[in-house]
Structure 1
Amino acid sequence: MTAGGPADSGADELTFRDPERADALRARLESLVDRADDSIRIVHVCGTHEQTIAEFGLRSILPDGLTVAMGPGCPVCVTDSAEVDEAVTLAESGKLVATYGDMLDVPGGDRSLAAVRDAGGDVEVVYSAADAVSLAAETDQEVVFFGVGFETTAAPTASVLRNDPPANFSVLSAHKYVPPAMDVVAAHPNTRVDGFLAAGNAATITGTEVFEPIAGTHDLPVVVGGFEPLDVLYALVELVEAIADDEPAVVNAYPRCVSATGNQAAQTALWDVFERVEGEWRGIAAVPDATLAIRPEYAAYDARERFDIEVDRDSETTECICGDIMAGHAAPRECPLFGEECTPASPVGACMVSDEGPCRIRQTFGEVRQ
């Protein structure tokens, strides 16, 4: 389709911060939007895309008639409060719970993992499932890895379970699988989606072919994009061109990292260990086939099978509209708690916790950064 991506200069070296190319892509966007029959609304499904868009002020150069909204692309934000409560319960019962740093302040129904740690519970920050395995190898205490994230973190979690971890190691899986959530967003009557900008990092695992059913079912294009400012602009050009041409195609705008079939070894590990089941995406819906549960063959390492964990499954904070924000139905400024009761220092909802959360990003960079 359109030439002019970050890797399309013909030079030996990739260039990502080129104002002239950015201006050319902006001009191309403007001409394509003018060509379209109506205004265009694109939904992206990656918190890192939102970070790039906000930090570099890309919305300030988008043409009138083009809206780019964030969908369910922050794994911390869509981790259900009941899943947080399970981790809290395990930590309170004497288990060592290891998880990523941005999960500590995510509120559950009553307490966060940070609150449990402040009260003397064993909660450790790790950077990977492998780090949690190392903790288990150094202690006789039960170590539970609270596994959160999409395909990019689920595949490494699967890998450690296939590699005979210590007997005192288990996983509390809150891993999610993105494509079915995109189906839910596209089909929702309150969400207008003319095209999806898909996450290049997850697509390194899944490949681009996984998005073909979404494009076909909903008759809209899906473009896989990278994370540099020029990557995002180039992917938006590809999307708007496909929309203007009424072409529901799947386009790879991140070919330096993503292929059609993805990482086959990672997929083998992922689907050997996990199966897709229905599960709650925080505040959005119970999404079919979008939660990754540990298969019975690995039940010895499944914290839910190993321990008695009883939590309230209906403990969501009612005032928070994080679910509507993640589903693309609302903007952070529409939440009555935003910037007042809910801030990065004192988050009420999960969208204000993570660096990939839309509320935290909006609080950090403002409504439209120039």
Structure 2
Amino acid sequence: MSLTANDWLKKIRELPLPEKIKVINVCGGHERAITTAGLRSALPEAIELIPGPGCPVCICPEEDIYMAIQLALHESVILVAFGDMLRVPVNVAKGEIRSLQQAKAAGADIRPIASPLEALHIAQHHPDQAVVFFAAGFETTMAPVAALLVQGIPENLSILLSGRLTWPAVDMLLRTGQATFDGVIAPGHVATVMGAEEWTFIVEKYGLPAAVAGFTPVSLLAALYSVLRQHVEGRLFLDNCYPELVSAHGNKTAHTHLHHVFTVTAAMWRGIGIIADSGFSLREARYDARWRFPDCATNASNRKRAGEMPAGCDCARVVLGQIYPDGCRLYGTACTPRSPVGPCMVSDEGACRIWWSVGIRSTAPTAQPAEITPELSIGRE
């Protein structure tokens, strides 16, 4: 008989836990499931569940969004992007257009999409007009983007790529000593594509417990129990608590497509810096919007405050698990979902947006920002 959520909670409460143990849930979807289900309030006080870097909208480089805005405003293009990206603000002077949503309101042809196939269909229906697909996301999004390119795209379609891998951010935190957690709940959707074994480095390299989880309270609590029990007993391994969809090696077809279309490179994460081995880059320049529109690409990177978070915004510290959303100085005051200042308040995978949407207001003292050390080395140790 399968265990229920209450069964897992009982097993967690029976563990001889230390006075405090912190577990990071990497995935934004996990954070949404944990928060909406109220799991934190059901757990023993010793356990802290920390939101992690699993929101692609939150870490998308500011200069990439700026370039998308400039393309839409000043080039004769149709720009398509996933819906969440339209509301992310960039660093510009007061009165200037600061989001794709504002650029659309100013007359730019910007179209929200939910699937890479929609970008293809728009390009096919407008063969005489350039179409730019602003493709931002993690491995689960990059796999269908790669499949689209493998199948072939029309000459009028190019890609403004802002794809990232999730594991290098966790690796960077652990390698540089910035980690504030004792165990990891690894992302289920990413593991479905890339395989559970991608997360074995947490156990083998850093000696921390880890478990892959799905998105139900049962799967999340099972993974949390595994991490806690590993910590208590000192018997460490990577546990797959999402076997319905996650295998050891992931989706081999997706791996083939990703390797065929992309190379892996060091990449910028907004407000954090360059993280080694964390970005996807197009192998063929002819698909690359940066190659087709080089002036826009150069201008996007050469501005004052390019790549930074907005003044006063602590999104980078939230993403890195260093503070909770309500520890940000702007949370719920200057920054709300209706008028977001930072990207973590935009996406439904952003921790600030998730916490606000379930009614969590300011419960933590205002945190002073700590220095965040960018990862500047290239290549995995």
TM-score past 0.5 threshold: yes
Equivalent position SS for 1:60: helix
- Structure 1 position 100 matched with structure 2 position 82: yes
* Counterpart pick for 1:46 among 27, 32, 35: 27
> Take 1:247 and 1:267, find their aligned partners in 2: how far apart are those partners?
31
Aligned to 2:364: none
> Take 1:187 and 1:248, find their aligned partners in 2: how far apart are those partners?
19
Equivalent position SS for 1:23: helix
Q: List gaps (5 residues or longer) in structure 2.
A: 93-97, 362-381
> Take 1:208 and 1:216, find their aligned partners in 2: how far apart are those partners?
14
Aligned to 1:203: 191
Comparing 135-144 with 305-314, greater Cα deviation is found at: 305-314
- Structure 1 position 128 matched with structure 2 position 115: yes
- Structure 1 position 332 matched with structure 2 position 321: no
- Structure 1 position 299 matched with structure 2 position 285: yes
Q: TM-score, length-normalised on structure 2? A: 0.88
> Take 1:127 and 1:175, find their aligned partners in 2: how far apart are those partners?
16
CA shift for structure 1 position 188: 4.2
The alpha-carbon distance between structure 1 residues 277 and 356, as it changes in their structure 2 partners (threshold 3 A), is: same
CA shift for structure 1 position 187: 3.2
CA shift for structure 1 position 128: 1.3
Equivalent position SS for 1:71: strand
- Structure 1 position 241 matched with structure 2 position 229: yes
Equivalent position SS for 2:250: coil
Equivalent position SS for 2:33: helix
> Take 1:306 and 1:178, find their aligned partners in 2: how far apart are those partners?
28
> Take 1:86 and 1:176, find their aligned partners in 2: how far apart are those partners?
18
* Counterpart pick for 1:311 among 300, 309, 315: 300
Q: TM-score, length-normalised on structure 1? A: 0.91
Q: Which amino acid is 2:120 matched to?
A: V
Any idea what the Cα deviations from partners look like across 1:194-228, whole Å, max 9, x if unmatched? 11111111111111111122321111122110001
Q: List gaps (5 residues or longer) in structure 1.
A: 1-7, 10-19
Aligned to 1:359: 352
Equivalent position SS for 1:289: strand
How do 1:162-177 residues align onto structure 2 when only pairs under 5 Å count?
A: 162-177=150-165
- 8 Å Cα contact 1:185/1:328 also seen in 2: no
Aligned to 2:41: 60
* Counterpart pick for 1:82 among 59, 63, 74: 63
> Take 2:252 and 2:32, find their aligned partners in 1: how far apart are those partners?
29
Percent of residue pairs bearing the same amino acid type:
38
Aligned to 1:225: 213
* Counterpart pick for 2:181 among 177, 182, 193: 193
Aligned to 1:253: 241
> Take 1:247 and 1:120, find their aligned partners in 2: how far apart are those partners?
59
Comparing 93-102 with 256-265, greater Cα deviation is found at: 93-102
Aligned to 2:129: 141
How do 1:151-166 residues align onto structure 2 when only pairs under 5 Å count?
A: 151-166=139-154
Aligned to 2:9: 26
- 8 Å Cα contact 2:17/2:46 also seen in 1: no
Q: Which amino acid is 2:77 matched to?
A: K
- 8 Å Cα contact 1:91/1:116 also seen in 2: yes
Q: Which amino acid is 1:154 matched to?
A: M
CA shift for structure 1 position 189: 3.3
- 8 Å Cα contact 2:195/2:248 also seen in 1: yes
Any idea what the Cα deviations from partners look like across 1:217-258, whole Å, max 9, x if unmatched? 111122110001111111111111111122331110000000
Q: Which amino acid is 2:325 matched to?
A: P
* Counterpart pick for 2:201 among 213, 216, 220: 213
> Take 1:134 and 1:95, find their aligned partners in 2: how far apart are those partners?
15
- 8 Å Cα contact 1:180/1:287 also seen in 2: yes
Equivalent position SS for 1:72: strand
Q: Which amino acid is 2:230 matched to?
A: A
CA shift for structure 1 position 84: 0.6
- 8 Å Cα contact 2:116/2:148 also seen in 1: yes
Aligned to 2:54: 73
Q: Which amino acid is 1:29 matched to?
A: I
CA shift for structure 1 position 190: 4.0
Aligned residues: 347
Any idea what the Cα deviations from partners look like across 1:91-131, whole Å, max 9, x if unmatched? 11222111111110001223111011000001101111111
